[in-house]
């Protein structure tokens, strides 16, 4: 759950992270992202500002970590009985979530405070894990399946590219078209 | 050339933009991006800091505008006599430039100081214009061609997605594989 190697689940470090993340989420809801400051977050979380600076460097890095946590999928992809149905549902939900105003803000935050690419890599790993789950299920059903990396290139990448760089086309029909095309490879 | 509607080519506004952009490029080379400040850029460009704040808002927005200028292609894509050869060459060069340390820094800058997506949209428009030029040439040769948006989805998007989110695979073989796949549609 935590991006820092020194964090042990249940330890003090994990508790600090949890309370600081919770403070950010609450304060973003109350005062908005633009009004957020490190002392404000520290006050709400019950830690000193220097604890936050020491651990996260600055507010942008903290917002990046919080965003990645928010982008982490909470459930397994739905099992609808076939690869096609599972992928359609997953792609539609992925597109809906990422292209929503909240999703766009999280993607942006995740990238901005992430100078070494660790958090961006996590976002991509989350998508790959969900696709792996869908593909493993299809293999157990005896269906032919494409590679995960092919689905990344043909379904995930176009959606994320259009969200970041090229507005338009981001609807359910587009998600299904990408899935149809990706599955034409198997 | 300019992102601001009030800029007329050759007018004072255009001259200010040119001198400020030049100052940023020089100073990034001399002191590095992280040491850059608005007063430093203003001093070098011979304008007041308030001119920069009024026009660009803050340093991040200025860096975004400079980055987009740097990402603007300077030449037409090479004419190598066939759609396949032109697209291979274009995709390899696009990948090389975007995945280079300088390219990554520009993409990052372009996205970071770009809250309304205007600059990201320009980056995408540059790629689309280059692809349009390649496709128009192929049409004049009598070759069958795919849609520009299909090339965006199948060649540009995977490259940009992997640069931003998923390291690895960014080599010439990958660029050619994407082109092969995109052309299998026609």
ipTM of the complex in this document: 0.90
Q: Residues of chain A whose C-beta is under 8 A from some C-beta in B?
A: 108, 111-112, 117, 120-121, 123-124, 149, 152-154, 156-158, 160-162, 164-167, 169, 178
Separation between Cα atoms, residue B121 and residue A136, nearest integer Å: 37
Reported as a single tens digit per residue, the pLDDT across A123-168 is 999 999 999 999 999 999 999 999 999 999 999 999 999 999 998 8
Q: Per-residue confidence at B7, pLDDT binned at 50, 70, 90? A: low
pLDDT higher than 80, residue A7: no
Distance to chain B for A152, nearest Cα, Å: 8
B58-117: pLDDT as tens digits: 899 999 999 999 999 989 999 999 999 999 999 999 999 999 988 998 999 999 888 788
- Does residue B25 register a pLDDT over 90? yes
Indicate the CATH number for domain A74-183.
1.10.357.10
Q: Is the dihedral of CA A49, A116, A156, A109 positive or negative?
A: positive
The mean pLDDT of B28-53, rounded to a whole number, is 93
Residue A88: partners with Cβ closer than 8 Å, 6 or more residues away:
A175, A176, A179
Query: For B161, which of A111, A160, A178 is closest by C-beta distance?
Result: A160
Cβ pair A121:B160 closer than 8 A? no
Contact A186, A150 (CB under 8 A): no
- Which part of chain B is CATH 1.10.10.60? 12-57
Q: pLDDT at residue A117 above 90?
A: no
pLDDT for residue B3 is more than 50: no
Q: What is the pLDDT of residue B34?
A: 85
Instruction: With a cut of 60, say whether residue B135 has pLDDT above it.
Output: yes
Cβ contacts of B156 on chain A, cutoff 8 Å: 161
| CA-closest candidate to residue A61, choices A111, A107, A27 | A111
State mean pLDDT over B119-130. 96
In chain A, the residue whose alpha carbon lies closest to the alpha carbon of B119 is A165
Residue B2: pLDDT over 50: no
Domain with CATH 1.10.357.10 in chain A: 74-183
Contact A149 B169 (CB under 8 A): yes
Say if the Cβ atoms of A157 and B152 lie within 8 Å: no
Task: Write the CATH number of the domain with boundaries A12-57.
Answer: 1.10.10.60
Q: Which of A148, A157, A159 to mutate to test the interface with B (most CBs of B within 10 A)?
A: A157
Locate the chain B residue with the closest alpha carbon to A151: B158
pLDDT per position as a tens digit, A26-55: 999 899 888 999 999 999 999 999 999 999
pLDDT above 90: residue B186: no
Does residue A59 have a pLDDT over 80? yes
Q: Residue B111 and residue A164: Cβ atoms within 8 Å?
A: yes
In the block, residue with structure tokens 């640069």? B163
Distance (Å, whole) CA A24 – CA A30: 10
Residues 6 or more apart whose Cβ sits within 8 Å of residue B184? none
DSSP state letters, B148-169: HHHHIIIIIHHHHHHHHH--S-
The answer to whether the Cβ–Cβ distance between A120 and B169 falls below 8 Å is: no
Give SS3 for A123.
helix
Any idea what the Cα angle at residue B128 is, between residues B122 and B130, rounded to 5°? 105
The pLDDT of residue B8 is above 80: no
- The pLDDT of B169-184, averaged and rounded, is 94
The residue with greater pLDDT, A10 or B8, is A10
Q: Which of B9, B5, B31 is nearest to B18 (CA)?
A: B9
Residue B137: name the closest of B74, B73, B75, B79 by CA: B79
- pLDDT tier at A3 (50, 70, 90 boundaries)? very low
Task: Please compute the mean of the pLDDT values over residues B152-179 and round it to a whole number.
Answer: 95
Q: Which residues of B touch A120 (CB under 8 A)?
A: 164-165
Compute the mean pLDDT over every residue in chain A, rounded to the nearest whole number. Answer: 91
> A46: distance to nearest CA of chain B, Å?
30
Residue B11 and residue B141: Cα distance in Å, rounded?
41
Taking 70 as the threshold, does the pLDDT of residue A8 lie above it?
no
């Amino acid at each position: 759950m935590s991006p820092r190697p020194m964090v042990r689940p249940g330890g003090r470090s994990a508790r600090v992270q949890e309370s600081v993340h919770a403070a950010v989420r609450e304060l973003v809801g109350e005062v908005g992202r633009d009004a957020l400051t490190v002392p404000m977050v520290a006050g709400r979380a019950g830690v000193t500002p220097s604890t936050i600076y020491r651990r996260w460097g600055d507010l942008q890095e903290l917002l990046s970590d919080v965003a990645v946590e928010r982008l982490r999928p909470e459930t397994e992809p739905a099992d609808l009985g076939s690869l096609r149905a599972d992928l359609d549902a997953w792609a539609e939900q992925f597109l809906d979530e990422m292209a929503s105003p909240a999703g766009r803000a999280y993607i942006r935050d995740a990238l901005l405070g992430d100078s070494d690419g660790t958090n961006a890599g996590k976002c991509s790993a989350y998508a790959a894990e969900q696709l792996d789950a869908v593909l493993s299920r299809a293999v157990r059903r005896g269906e032919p399946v494409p590679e995960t990396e092919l689905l990344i290139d043909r379904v995930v990448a176009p959606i994320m590219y259009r969200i970041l760089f090229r507005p338009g086309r981001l609807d359910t029909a587009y998600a299904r078209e990408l899935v149809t095309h990706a599955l034409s490879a198997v």
